[in-house]
Structure 1
């Protein structure tokens, strides 16, 4: 079942910090953005792992207002994913984490990034991949919700239950009612537990119209409500990621435009149904990539 907002934030916070800590400790090449503005935003940590067109992996991050780009040069993936999403369950203790990646041939793989320290102090990187399923041609967005994975293909949104044994597998498949053809970016926002037991998955998305919305989805696959957080202003983003803050009930967002300009957002109340209280700060330029993780 979906975790409550509070529980979900604590889980994501712990694994995100662990992932970023492993990046720094394992020798990733961390370089501050040329337009870095330290302490410009809120007490939040948001990361957006991505792949460039040369198959080079990079992790874009804004931590307490300070932006950085960590470039990884592991070998062996051999393709630029058409969609990817990090598995927050296992982001710690697995090199640079684990993620689901869809290949251009429509194969979804479960990928781990492994690091090996060399005697001279450098670090060697490699990928290990497990083929999960085929037939995912056209999947353009993935959103990971701890124990579930959403896949968007064209206008069709599907939710998969993530299996614990094997830990990389996908189980029950639920097609979500409605059309999502106008969705540009998508991320898992939170799980909402209700006294009635009618728990909801909440996805945050940007639309081709420029709107920022949240979809509240029931366990049966029905969209219970669509909340428009902002009617305009979000049409230029190629990626929108979420991350935890030290303030309970708040969230951080990292938006990267198609031109590679990055903005950090602070939302003091993630569940108020509005973006009017969001604060936006430009933090970096040149953050271009071909494929982003939510």
Structure 2
């Protein structure tokens, strides 16, 4: 068992504490802002416990971690990169037990089998997500009634995201600190600009087999063409209560295949304090 504090500020209350139980496959996080640390997670409230599996690489890289925080049903983790320019990024779904972890893929497969792809295309992404969360939550309640409502809703959100064409970047889009998300082409690493960390690189990609589904989705949401005759598309996508400005290009304009830029508008405008903290003004 290991314990590490991430020093995110000068005051004791501004530290985040990470407790590792590798033999249980658990990562316990006590975020900054909680009362002073006095007890381990099995004796005290205020901890977030995430099951990642006993063999997770996360346990070997924890000393390189420079920040960690919660973004709705996910944990966002940032690591010092191998060079001085890019920060490595990872997100984890918040699942507290091995049972919850195993449920994710089963629930996703069950939902995919129950939904018609044609009907999904005819509805907006926001509508499809709302429907998926409701259906999955109801299914969990029926099959495993002992799971409480809070956990059921969290699992339903994660699974609904996994079934979406853009699901793997939802943790980025949900994060108020994300400014813009980029994909240069199929099989290229997705990266993004973060208000605090700067340019961050993920390990996620969209492969060539997923491109037609993404293109179909963009056409359906925008009611615009995206093909060799019309190789550029710009649109606004309403999702999670915010506006995403999406720019997509395909050959011959984008020689490597589909490329994407997604700019995330803030829910709350910058304050003077935000601008000073971001070194935008002095």
TM over 0.5: no
Q: TM-score, normalised by structure 2?
A: 0.26
**Is the strand fraction higher in 1 or 2?**
1
Task: With a CA cutoff of 8 Å and minimum separation of 6, indicate the structure with the bigger relative contact order.
Answer: 1
State the TM-score, normalizing by the size of structure 1.
0.25
**Structure possessing the higher radius of gyration over alpha carbons:** 2
